Structure 1
Amino acid sequence: MTPSNGGDPVVLREDTMRAGINSATRTIEQIEAHPTRPNVTKLIGSRGGGNSRAALAEAMADEAAAGTPLYLLLDDIAGASLIAGFAYSRWIDRDLLMQEISARPVRDMTGICTGFQPGSGALMPDGSSKWTHQVQPVQPLPLGGDPLSWHALEEITEMAMRRARRIDVHVGDVITIDSMFQDSSTVPTGGRVAVHEYRLTATADPDTGELLTIDADPRVLPYDECPLASRNVGKALGTPLSELRTVVLDKFSGTEGCTHLNDAMRALAEVPVLVRALREDEHRRARP
């Protein structure tokens, strides 16, 4: 929290987790959290993108209710494990990559999201992905010379993927939200390239927490059709922020949404916790 009076920022809560995930099946094989939570090991055996979120909701219900950073990190396993293989595609010879892909069972991607809608240029005739991702070089975080804008990020030069997420909140006449996420990979020549980057801005009612406005700005996406998902975000208007985790999955399934934009909207369910911290600080400063 950055005080409005210009004082030093205060770390309100910090969690870390480390997981080992099978690259072929996306199954969680080992996991730990710091500070320690015994229930986190109940996620072992669940599969990112499969049953991991259902297992998470059951095993870590208390974390969800408290809106802890750990719950957001664990919820991101589904999306992060999905995109992790993109880093491999940046480091391996293109011809060898295509040979490996052609040897795999064909997965029909048609209709799973806006980018893979029927007739999309991202699809092969058999419904599989073309693997012709559009990418953009990106600058290292933090940007703009603001050392407080991000926590410390390890500088990695070998093959690696990173999902960076930011949610900034201000409370005035309305709750103002400015958030973004970026999926980026290292490349053999140095630096990083992004395959996904979205910015979300929104406002919410300070009393009810209902979403009043929302705008999605697609910065970097892999296929020409992907940005079309941003046209649909208005369907979330009127939803209480705390209910976005479930409502987004219902209203933005299939070609109505984008896996990664959906994750960005679902993450806004954490905003009420940040708002509560700001109000508590305001009350403390108002006391005589």
Structure 2
Amino acid sequence: MTTHPIALHPRRGTHDPLPTSPPRVPGSVRRTASVEAVRPDGLRGRVILTGRGRDLVTGADGVGRVAGSAGFTMEVGYLTSRTVDTITSDPEIPGLDGLRGAVAGPGFRARLNEIAPAERDARSLLYLLLDDVPGAALVSGYAIIAGGERVKAQRVARHPAADQCAGWASDATIMLEINSGGNTPVPTGPVSPPLSDDADPIAWHELPDLPPHGMRRHRRLDVAPSSDGLLTVDQHFRDMHVSGEGRATVLHEYEVHARVEPGTWRVVDIEAVPRVLPWVECPAAVASARRLIGRSLADVRTEVREEFRGTSTCTHLNDQLRSLADVVSIADLMPT
């Protein structure tokens, strides 16, 4: 992949990608997950979504042991109706074929919960991957506009997405450019540093090279004990895009650091850190993470979905906060 500079949007947001993943902590558990989107038939063709994930336990001696893995493959007719045409998963879920015909967007998660309530309740790795389908499918559309397939946006005072998050506020960069010129502005991001580390080849599950116009959403969740009896949580999220010329850049990236009480799963402290965001208005949303202080991660998926809305929030950060529910399940894997 090439890494030469590109022209950056003058109203771009934070550009400070994490240079690499932190070292694994003895006695910790690391859950890594990725969903990649490729377009084998061209920018206007079908999208193949591939999810991969792994749970890695690091013993007191620093040696890593794989505790579980999961994956799925899904074909989506992106520019037709964004419906799921085919899907397979590993491990298999009975009835998963019931997702065929579902829109890889609004309503997908509700249908997933009907088909796989046990996976949801177990906060499984496969559930995390499938729960990420609507977000990953939506963000994969960036490849179309970045590849030059611009779509004219309707010049209106109230866009359907207006005020849904900080970046889409009515007076923010996106809406101002739509209303002045009619086109949705194209975000630009910094060069994407590698998340893998040559010094620790098992720090992540396998991340194959992406083809031109490919995108990948990465998630890492580290849970480790601390001397005061709390759990230390270190979470990372990155959306990456590969241009037609092979240039890999970051579109969205957050870190979340938290301290959690085991058993009650109460959030004692939490901080969200903006690493890479598209627009100058976006970083203001990180303050919303502190609303979780005092709440239980056992309920975080429902509470964030129902309560974290509007211009004080970010849809990508919301997904990041929702996935903190996995602390409840992977903490059981921590070595004693």
2:39 alignment partner in structure 1: none
Residue 254 of structure 1 aligns to a residue whose secondary structure is coil
Equivalent residues of 1:134, 1:221 under 8 A apart: no
Could you list the structure 1 runs, at least 4 aligned residues long, displaced by more than 6 angstroms after superposition: 103-106, 126-129
Report whether the alignment pairs 1:18 with 2:73.
yes
CA distance in 1, matches of 2:155, 2:72: 32
Q: Which has the higher strand share?
A: 2
Alpha carbons of structure 1 residues 241 and 127: separation in structure 2 relative to 1, 3 Å: farther
CA distance in 2, matches of 1:84, 1:160: 8
Report whether the alignment pairs 1:120 with 2:186.
no
The code of the aligned residue for 2:209 comes to E
Q: So what's the TM-score if we normalise by structure 2?
A: 0.76
> For residues 45-124 of structure 1, what are the structure 2 equivalents within 5 Å?
45-92=101-148, 97-98=149-150, 101-102=151-152, 108-123=160-175, 124=178
Moved more, 183-192 or 141-150: 141-150
Q: So what's the TM-score if we normalise by structure 1?
A: 0.89
Alpha-carbon offset, residue 227 of structure 1: 0.9
1:42 alignment partner in structure 2: 98
The code of the aligned residue for 2:242 comes to T
Moved more, 26-35 or 103-112: 103-112
Deviation by residue 1:11-68 (Cα, 9 ceiling, x = unmatched): 1111110111121232222111012222211222222331001111111100112221
Moved more, 175-184 or 185-194: 185-194
The code of the aligned residue for 1:110 comes to A
Equivalent residues of 1:109, 1:129 under 8 A apart: no
Residue 203 of structure 1 aligns to a residue whose secondary structure is strand
1:153 alignment partner in structure 2: 207
Greater relative contact order structure (CA < 8 Å, 6+ sep): 2
The code of the aligned residue for 1:254 comes to G
Alpha-carbon offset, residue 191 of structure 1: 3.4
Alpha carbons of structure 1 residues 144 and 116: separation in structure 2 relative to 1, 3 Å: farther
Alpha-carbon offset, residue 126 of structure 1: 7.7
Residue 110 of structure 2 aligns to a residue whose secondary structure is helix
Equivalent residues of 1:163, 1:182 under 8 A apart: yes
Moved more, 232-241 or 71-80: 232-241
Structure 2 portions without partners, runs of 5+ = 1-56
Q: What count of residue pairs does the alignment treat as equivalent?
A: 273
Equivalent residues of 2:155, 2:182 under 8 A apart: no
1:167 alignment partner in structure 2: 221
1:219 alignment partner in structure 2: 275
Alpha-carbon offset, residue 223 of structure 1: 1.1
Alpha carbons of structure 1 residues 121 and 171: separation in structure 2 relative to 1, 3 Å: same
1:134 alignment partner in structure 2: 188
Q: Which has the higher helix share?
A: 1
CA distance in 2, matches of 1:133, 1:186: 14
Deviation by residue 1:156-193 (Cα, 9 ceiling, x = unmatched): 23220100110011023211110111101112333311
Equivalent residues of 2:96, 2:115 under 8 A apart: yes
Equivalent residue for 2:289, pick from 224, 228, 233: 233
Give identity over the alignment, percent. Answer: 32
Structure 1 portions without partners, runs of 5+ = 283-288
Equivalent residue for 2:309, pick from 238, 253, 259: 253
Alignment root-mean-square deviation, CA:
2.0
Alpha-carbon offset, residue 129 of structure 1: 6.5
Residue 56 of structure 1 aligns to a residue whose secondary structure is helix
CA distance in 1, matches of 2:153, 2:277: 26
Equivalent residues of 1:171, 1:275 under 8 A apart: no
Alpha-carbon offset, residue 104 of structure 1: 7.5
The code of the aligned residue for 1:23 comes to Y
1:9 alignment partner in structure 2: 64
Equivalent residues of 1:232, 1:256 under 8 A apart: yes
2:325 alignment partner in structure 1: 269
The code of the aligned residue for 1:56 comes to L
Moved more, 213-222 or 247-256: 247-256
Alpha-carbon offset, residue 259 of structure 1: 0.9
Deviation by residue 1:225-250 (Cα, 9 ceiling, x = unmatched): 11111011111112211211111112
1:286 alignment partner in structure 2: none
